[in-house]
Structure 1
Amino acid sequence: MTPLMVGGAPLGSMPSNFGYEVSAEDGVATAVAALTGPIRGIDTSCAYSRGESERRIGTAIAEVGGLPEGYLLATKITRDLDTGDFSGEQMRRAIEGSLQRLGIDQVPLLYLHDPENTTFAAATSPGGPVDVLRELKDTGIAQAIGVAGGDTATISQYVETGHFDVLLTHNRWTLVNRTADRLIDAAAARGMGVINAAVFGGGILATGTSTSSRYGYREAPDELLAVIREVENLCKEASVPMSAAAIQFSTRDPRIASTVIGISRPSRIAESVAAVELDIPDGLFDAVTAVTDQLPAGIGPR
């Protein structure tokens, strides 16, 4: 794996999450660049823009002549967004739709997405979502399986089953949110691959508080915004783009196999690689941690 993966949520156009539209042409062009560039992985979901992200990636895969050898394509299956159905049969319908949109017969990495939307008992019941994912791996439709979600207490239950190869956590291991620390430790101790996503907190840790007041796709509490402003100032004083610090906070962590960066135009790929390679003094991260340690417990996503 490369240190970065391209996040496919924005390239499918999700303005309610990210605050901007992405045309089909730009989305496909970005996916083509992702498939042919230095980053060797792309992450998407059947839920992103109701399948449009997968559809655009599928178009790009066809344009480049198929999924490149050794390339890590990851997608996720989840509930029916209209009915809330989170059954095993829904997982079968979801993977069928994903494979059709992506134009592939098997997927290198398949996640159970957002199991916070059902109960652990229901998800792990005979014939339920977890059983279906394990079956998809056993039959070769998925080469590896993972669990992807937000709430760390819920996701830790799935990690402890030992059924999954990979953990994906989002918005909870960033410059200003360290909630996933124990979860990442637990996954790493089991030998699972750990993927860290949404290190920009939905955008604010890339663009700053002058353009956004949202963290984790919702309005941020005043206490969190104040800390982000302090982090902005620390990065400015160090002449380091906050976006680069946000990326390296994750890529420097030896427990994390790869970091997912949401990208909506081709030029962002080279910019993201450059951010990983930028020389950032350790002292900046120490100063940021001293600031974030001031946050009261329970501020922001858990």
Structure 2
Amino acid sequence: MLSRAGLSASSVGISLSAIDVCTGQPDSGPGFEAASETLRRVLEGPFNFIDASGESWQGAEGERCIGKAITEAGGLPDGFVLTRSVGPALALDFSGDGILRAVEESLQRLGLDLLPLVLLRNPEEFSFESATARCGPLATLVGLRDQGLINHLGIAGGPIDLQLKYLQTDEFDAVISHVPYSLLDRAAEPLIQNAVSREVAFVNAAPFIGRLLLDGAGRSAQGVNRERSPARLERSDKMRLICAAYGIPLAAAALQFSTLDPRVTSTVVGASTPAQADFVTELAQWRIPSGVWDDLLDLVEESELAISCRNDVVPTTDPLHYRDQGVTFPAPVPH
């Protein structure tokens, strides 16, 4: 369920952020056509969550592309969650009046009567005081929700402490987090706990630590950076070997580490082609033997020691929720 409001969302969502729809020419060009094809594929299922809140999807051209796909599908399928976003980097006018105009134009281009989920995006780019001022952006969004032009409000991006501050307003139904929550890093744990306590949907947009947990992406020529520290590379290599011994892709285990968590409403994964959308479906449905989880979760416990030593992360000593809440893992069956 998508928070207290009761809208259901699939355990996996598709992010369109990797598709560049900005072709420079409205309704034409290879970018527009590729985006339309991928959108049509996603609208066919099996997931009902499309995250189109990235910068390349804001504005007239991105919304015309989405609107075209919705029209060709005979309308937005019942219960489908489509995200749009507002923020100073996405609109010249971030005032209440500017947001009102942007929402009205979005509805017209999309051919919809309401926007399912609107995100206040990248809140670190503006002050909390200006965003929450009387007649300001948040008040305008709440008013549009009360009028029935917006179904749900969400917050997306920014450091954990700022997202927690916005959740304290009790105006948000969802938080889309780019703070890692994965086999290698549970930095988003404090945000998850707070969201659950408020009955706010937590959407995990960082299940792979960049591409580190995707098969074949562990050792790369990109060099060692914060995401690819020697310790993380070593643990990801160990995880890859564990999965290989059972004949499963590490990416499937990384995705399902998130989707099996009962506190995570949905896990967003990028797909820029219909084939990639099909690949995400395969990862989500892969049957993973319980022995894999026994070995992987030992390494997850080990990684907590590294997380607690980082200055910018709120340490957590909570035990793994899988063991606390009695999650039943899929039975080991051949793929």
TM-score (norm 2): 0.77
Give the C-alpha shift of residue 170 in structure 1. 1.8
Q: Does 1:220 align with 2:220?
A: no
Percent identity between the aligned chains? 32
Structure 1 counterpart of 2:89: 80
Q: Do residues 61 (structure 1) and 73 (structure 2) align?
A: no
Q: Does 1:287 align with 2:306?
A: no
* Deviation, structure 1 residue 153: 1.0
| Map of 2:323 onto structure 1 | none
Contact 1:43-1:260 within 8 A present in 2 as well: yes
Aligned residue in 1 for 2:110? 102
Structure with max Cα Rg: 2
Q: Deviations over 1:85-141 (max 9, x none)?
A: 644344334434433443323111111111111121221111122111101101111
- Asked if 1:262 corresponds to 2:273, the answer is no
- The question of whether the paired residues in 1 share the 8 Å contact of 2:239 and 2:296 is answered with no
Q: Please report how far the alpha carbon of residue 298 of structure 1 lies from its aligned counterpart in structure 2 after TM superposition.
A: 2.8
Compute the displacement of 1:164 (Å).
0.9
- Give SS of 1:194's match: strand
Count residues with an aligned counterpart.
292
Residue matched to 1:122: 130
Aligned to 1:17: none
- Measured at CA, do residues 120 and 136 of structure 1 come closer, stay the same or move farther in structure 2, by a change above 3 Å? same
- The one-letter amino acid paired with 1:220 is E
Q: SS of the counterpart of 1:164?
A: coil
How many angstroms does 1:12 deviate by? 3.6
CA RMSD of aligned residues (A): 2.9
| Match status 1:184 vs 2:153 | no
- Alignment-derived partner of residue 42 in structure 1: 50
Deviation at 1:46, TM superposition (A): 5.9
Map 1:127-142 to 2 at 5 A: 127-142=135-150
Contact 2:17-2:54 within 8 A present in 1 as well: no
Q: Does 1:11 align with 2:19?
A: yes
Aligned to 2:218: 209
Cα distance in structure 2, aligned partners of 1:54 and 1:138 = 23
Question: 1:142: how far off?
Answer: 0.6
Which stretches in structure 1 are left out of the alignment for 5+ residues?
15-21
SS at match of 1:62: helix
Q: CA deviation at 1:188?
A: 0.8
